[in-house]
Amino acid sequence: MRLRQLECFRALMLHGTMTRAAELLGMSQPGISTMIAGLEHETGLNLFVRRGGRLQPTPEAKLFYVEAARALEAAENASRVAAEIRSGRRGHLAIAAYPSISINLLPRLLSQFAKNKPELQIKIITRNSATVRELISTQQFDLAVAELPLDYPTSHMEVFSYDCMCMLPHAHPLAKLKQITPDDLDGVPFVTLFRGDPIYQQLASAFSEYGARWNVVAETEFFSTACQLVTEGRGVGIVDPVVSKPFTEGLVVRPFKPRIQYQIAILSPTHEAPSQVAQDFAGLLRRGLRA
Amino acid sequence: MRLRQLECFRALMLHGTMTRAAELLGMSQPGISTMIAGLEHETGLNLFVRRGGRLQPTPEAKLFYVEAARALEAAENASRVAAEIRSGRRGHLAIAAYPSISINLLPRLLSQFAKNKPELQIKIITRNSATVRELISTQQFDLAVAELPLDYPTSHMEVFSYDCMCMLPHAHPLAKLKQITPDDLDGVPFVTLFRGDPIYQQLASAFSEYGARWNVVAETEFFSTACQLVTEGRGVGIVDPVVSKPFTEGLVVRPFKPRIQYQIAILSPTHEAPSQVAQDFAGLLRRGLRA
DNA sequence: GTCCATTATAACGTATTCGTATAGTCGTCC
DNA sequence: GGACGACTATACGAATACGTTATAATGGAC
C-alpha cells in the first residue's frame, strides 16, 4: 500500500469523480484510474462500483476511508514535523550555564533565537561551572557554557578568551586615565572575585609584580555582584568586557594592564552529535560572545 | 515521503545497523542505505552521523522517529482494517425483517455467520413487512426480509415462494393422512392469519372452491402464534415449511392441497451497492430460505 | 599491517508511476 | 435514434523508484 494510492483514494472519495480528483492532485485522470485499480487489487476490496459511467463508493470504501484518511494525516503530519525540525521550529534546547551569563546575555540571545519558533522548548539551568561540566557529560543538555579552567577538559569545547577591563565609578578620579595598571590602583579599595577564582590569582600576581598594594575590600562570587558594589561606590574592580557588559552601565570601563585573562567555553555533549537547533544556537551564541 | 522509507528508518532506529535492519526487512544493505539517503534528502534532516564506520541517530532522528513510527502504524492499521473488511470480520450488518423470521431463523443464521467475525456489528430491527419495505428504501439497512406482496415493488428483490403445509396436533385424527384438503377440514376448528393477509384470502377461496366449511376459531398476526395455538390443541392451521419450521416441533405437518402460496423476499438497498458482508450474508440467508 | 564489520557507491534489471492518445460506456438533448 | 458531453478504462512509452550484486571505503581490534 502506497501513500500515493491513499492520496488518490481520498481525493476521489472527497470529489466524486476521477476527473476532478485528478485536477486536484495535479495529475491526469488515467493516473488516478490506475492508482485506484492498484489499491483495489492490493487491498482486495471493491471500493467503487461503476454505475452509469460514474463511480460510486461501496460501503467497504466508506469503512476503509476512515482508516486511509487517518494514515494519510499521520504521514502528512510526519512530513510537517520534519519541516519543523529542519527549520528549528520544533525540538528542545536545554542549556546549562554558569550564573553570570545566564542572568542576562544567555536569555537575551535565547529569546531572540526562539522568535518564530513556537514549538521549540527551551530550558536553562544555572549552576556553577564545575557542575555545568558534570551536567554536559551526562548528555542531558544540548549545550553548556562554563568558565575555565575546568578540572578536567571535555571534548567539543570552544574557548573564548577576554582581557578583563577595569571598572570605576563614574566620578572616580582615575576615570580620566585611558588605561589602568596596578600602580594606579595602589591602595585603592578593590572589589574582586573570590580567592579560589583564577581572576583572584592573576590579580594577586599582577599587583605583586608591579609592587603595588592590592586593597581588597570585597570578594564576590560573580562579576555581576562585583559590578553592583562598584556602582555603589565601594571601590573599583575588573570585569570581562562582553558577558558582564550589561552590568557596567553607568560605570567607566578602561583597559587594564597587565592582561588578566578570563576564559569561558561552549561545551557540547561528547557522546552524541548536537542537534541542529543546538548547532544553530551555538552559532548565535558564538557571535554574541565574540562581540 | 514514502512508506518504505519510513519502514527502513524505523528498522534502522530499532536495530542500530543497516546490515541488521536489512536482514529484518528481507532486503540488502545497500537498499537500506539508499533508502535512508533518500529520506534524509527529502526531509532535509541529517538523521544519522557516520561515526567510526557506524551510524548514530541524531537528536533530529529521535524527534522525527516518533512521528514516523506513528505514521507507519497508521498505515499498517489501515492495511489490517482492509484485510478485516475484505474477510467480513469488520463492518456492520443492519437487517430489517418481519417478525416471524426475526424470531428464530434470522438470528440463528446471523449468529452462525458472525462466528469468527469479532469486529462485525450486527443490528436486527423487526417491523411489519410494509415498514420493512420503507426502511430499506431509506438506505439505512443493508438487507431486509419482508413478506409479499408489497404495496409497490422494490428493485433488487429476491423472491422465495413456499407451498404452505397443514399443521395438526400430534394426536389429531387427520394426522394419518398423507395430504390434507379443505374437504378433510370441513368444519374442523382452524387457526389462520388475519383477514387482511394473503394467506387468509387464499384459504377462503380454497375452502369455497372445495365447498367445505371453513371453521375459523382464531386469527393471528404471525405463523408463530398460530403454531402455538395449534400446539395447545385449539385447532389445525397452515404454515410455511421453512421460516416457521422451528415452531412446528411436536406437531404433525402435512402437504396441503390446493396450493396456498406464501412468498417472502430479500430486499437490497436500491441506490447503493450492498456491502460485501451483506452480500455474503445474503448468500447464507438464501441457502437457509431454500432449505 | 591485516582482518572483520560496517557503510557508501556504481551499474544494472525490474517495477512503479504518470503522461498522452484513444476507446468504451452511459445519459441527455435534440 | 443519433450526436454530444462527461466520465472511466486501457495501451504504451518515458521517467523515476526500487532493490539487487559487486566493490570501494572506513574504522576498530588484534
**pLDDT per residue as tens digits for the range A155-207:** 578 889 999 999 998 888 888 888 999 999 998 999 999 888 889 989 999 99
pLDDT, residue A87, reads 85
Lowest mean pLDDT among A267-281, B8-22, B170-184, B242-256: A267-281
CA to C1' distance (Å), from A51 to D5: 17
Taking the stretch 48-87 of protein chain B, residues with Cβ within 7 Å of any atom in nucleic acid chain D are 52-53
Distances (CA, A) of A12 to A4, A20, A62, A68: 12, 8, 12, 12
pLDDT, residue A119, reads 83
pLDDT, residue B151, reads 63
B45 membership: H or E segment, kind and range = none
Residue B96 dihedral angles phi and psi, to the nearest 5°: -105, 135
B interface test, pick of A6, A13, A119, A275 with most B CB neighbours within 10 Å: A275
Q: pLDDT > 90: what percent of chain A?
A: 27
Q: How confident is the model over A38-93, as pLDDT tens digits? A: 888 888 888 888 776 678 888 888 889 999 999 999 999 999 999 888 888 888 88
Partner-chain contact A64 B78, CB within 8 Å: yes
For the whole model, what pTM was predicted?
0.73
The Cα B253–Cα B166 span in angstroms is 6
What would the grid cell of residue B171 be? 394426536
Q: How confident is the model over B183-207, as pLDDT tens digits? A: 999 989 999 998 888 899 899 999 9
- B278: chain A residues, CB-CB within 8 Å: 59
Q: What's the whole-number average pLDDT of chain A? A: 87
- A44: chain B residues, CB-CB within 8 Å: 82-83, 86
D20 C1' closest Cα residue: B28
A30 touches strand D (CB under 7 A): yes
pLDDT above 80 (res A126): yes
Could you tell me if A261 and A162 are in contact, meaning their C-beta atoms sit under 8 angstroms apart? Answer: yes
Distances (CA, A) of B185 to B168, B180, B225, B226, B241: 11, 8, 20, 16, 19
pLDDT above 70 (res A28): yes
pLDDT, residue A121, reads 87
Least Cα separation, residue B105 to chain A (angstroms): 26
Neighbours of A169 (CB within 10 A): 18
- B272: chain A residues, CB-CB within 8 Å: 56, 59
pLDDT, residue A155, reads 58
B54 touches strand C (CB under 7 A): yes
Partner-chain contact B77 A85, CB within 8 Å: no
Please classify residue B92 by burial: count the beta carbons closer than 10 Å to its beta carbon, then call 0-12 exposed, 13-18 middle and 19+ buried.
middle
pLDDT above 80 (res A99): yes
pLDDT, residue A239, reads 93
Q: b/e for A271-288, b at 16 or more Cβ within 10 A? A: ebbbbbbbebbbeebeeb
Taking the stretch 21-80 of protein chain A, residues with Cβ within 7 Å of any atom in nucleic acid chain C are 22, 26-28, 30-31, 34-35, 38, 52-53
Could you tell me if B281 and B143 are in contact, meaning their C-beta atoms sit under 8 angstroms apart? Answer: yes
Rounded to an integer, the average pLDDT of B9-36 is 88
A interface test, pick of B95, B275, B279 with most A CB neighbours within 10 Å: B275
CA to C1' distance (Å), from B53 to D30: 18
Residue labelled with grid coordinates 456492520: B92
pLDDT, residue A117, reads 87
Partner-chain contact A82 B70, CB within 8 Å: no
CA to C1' distance (Å), from B4 to D25: 27
DSSP structure class, residue B256: B
Q: What's the whole-number average pLDDT of chain B? A: 87
Rounded to an integer, the average pLDDT of B163-186 is 89
Q: pLDDT > 70: what percent of chain B?
A: 96
Q: How confident is the model over B256-286, as pLDDT tens digits? A: 988 999 999 998 877 677 788 888 899 999 9
Q: How confident is the model over B66-86, as pLDDT tens digits? A: 999 999 999 999 999 988 888
Nucleotide whose C1' lies closest to the alpha carbon of residue B42: D17
Partner-chain contact A60 B275, CB within 8 Å: yes
- A79: chain B residues, CB-CB within 8 Å: 1, 43
Nucleotide whose C1' lies closest to the alpha carbon of residue A22: C18
Nucleotide whose C1' lies closest to the alpha carbon of residue A52: C26
Confidence of residue A151 (pLDDT cuts 50, 70, 90): low
D11 C1' closest Cα residue: A30
pLDDT above 70 (res B154): no
Confidence of residue A133 (pLDDT cuts 50, 70, 90): confident
pLDDT above 80 (res A272): no
